[in-house]
Amino acid sequence: MYIAKCGQDGKFSEGELAPFGPIALNPSSGVLNYGQGLFEGLKAYRKPDGSILLFRPEENALRMQTGAERMCMPAPSVEQFVDAVKQTVLANKRWVPPTGKGSLYIRPLLMGSGAVLGLAPAPEYTFIIFASPVGNYFKEGLAPINLIVEDKFHRATPGGTGSVKTIGNYASVLMAQKIAKEKGYSDVLYLDVVHKKYLEEVSSCNIFVVKGNVISTPAVKGTILPGITRKSIIDVAVSKGFQVEERLVSVDELLDADEVFCTGTAVVVSPVGSITYQGKRVEYGHQGVGVVSQQLYTSLTSLQMGQTEDWMGWTMQLN
């Protein structure tokens, strides 16, 4: 794993690789007491020729900088972030699965590691990157997932931290997710906190609604994480002739859609087989994988894995 420290001067050390293992933290560190932490997630893929590809790591670096500003933390430069990701992947390259068998999930973590008993930004920060081989996020794989619309719990509020990848955003969705999974659903779809009728996102994925040739997704307006897979899928969809709209999307539109899918680093594209809202269940595509979901999944994953030419310039090859 990669480790770099940052003191009160706001400058990160050069960083070094160390064996993966436990880290020492002061009990009064900012991250443990006040949740002053951010994480990122990205993947490395093995090409058919054995070389390794990263997918848009600079986008994760920029998103971490945005989140760090919101959480009163310094952040590594884009150059340091990308270099640290490269170092970590190359040090773990034997763990990158063969083409089509999974990927190496990379987890950058930025946290207030310095001791701070009063409520204030920590005096020291630690930037860590570790990695793990992964298969499919949902046990269904590229098979339809079943979502329930949550109208009691909310993921984010206007003016809050819903648009940054801060650690506290994720612990707060566990209760609703646990209840949903106990009822047999794959995950939870959240609504906006003000009107309680506009779609926000799934616990850890963005949502897309297809009607005819139009693909709609909630606009990123402060309560929704600006997903990098989301951004990439929008560009791929436009290149394939779809009309993509980023706007308020209501539950009524969701229930009337031809097809629904989620996007995220972990899932890439996950088709939705059914939505349950206030006891009413709506199914899409006879529980099969939708045509649009399949088309976009194939286009993006073949690019990520180096099976087709990277016409977007999104991948970065490691030697």
Q: 241-284, pLDDT tens digit by residue?
A: 999 999 999 999 999 999 999 999 988 999 999 999 999 999 99
Q: What is the mean pLDDT of residues 191-210?
A: 96
Residue 129 has pLDDT above 80, yes or no: yes
- Answering whether pTM is above 0.85, one says yes
Which amino acid, one-letter code, is at 190?
Y
Residue 100 is predicted with a pLDDT of: 83
CB 63 within 8 A of CB 165: yes
What is the rounded CA–CA span in Å between residue 5 and residue 12? 5
Residue 140 is predicted with a pLDDT of: 56
Q: Which of 86, 139, 165, 196 is catalytic?
A: 165
Residues in the chain: 319
Q: What is the mean pLDDT of residues 69-84?
A: 98
Residue 165 annotated in active site: yes
What is the rounded CA–CA span in Å between residue 142 and residue 278? 27
Map tokens 């606009």 to a residue: 219
CA atoms within 13 A on the CB side of 2: 27
Query: Which range, of 18-27, 80-89, 286-295, averages the lowest pLDDT?
Result: 286-295
Query: pLDDT-derived band of residue 165, with 50, 70 and 90 as boundaries?
Result: very high
Residue 138 has pLDDT above 70, yes or no: no
Q: Mean pLDDT across the chain, nearest whole number?
A: 95
What is the rounded CA–CA span in Å between residue 265 and residue 203? 13
Helix (H, G, I), strand (E, B) or coil at 2: strand
CA-CA distances (angstroms) from residue 318 to 61, 93, 121, 168, 194?
18, 10, 36, 33, 46
Residue 141 is predicted with a pLDDT of: 61
Residue 289 is predicted with a pLDDT of: 85
Q: What is the mean pLDDT of residues 282-299?
A: 88
Q: What is the mean pLDDT of residues 175-186?
A: 96
Q: What is the mean pLDDT of residues 49-78?
A: 97
Buried b (16+ CB within 10 A) or exposed e, 144-162: bbbbbbbeeebbbeeebbb
Question: What ranges in the chain are assigned the alpha helix state H?
Answer: 30-34, 57-70, 78-91, 168-171, 174-182, 228-239, 251-255, 291-304
Q: Give me 207's structure tokens.
A: 């949502």
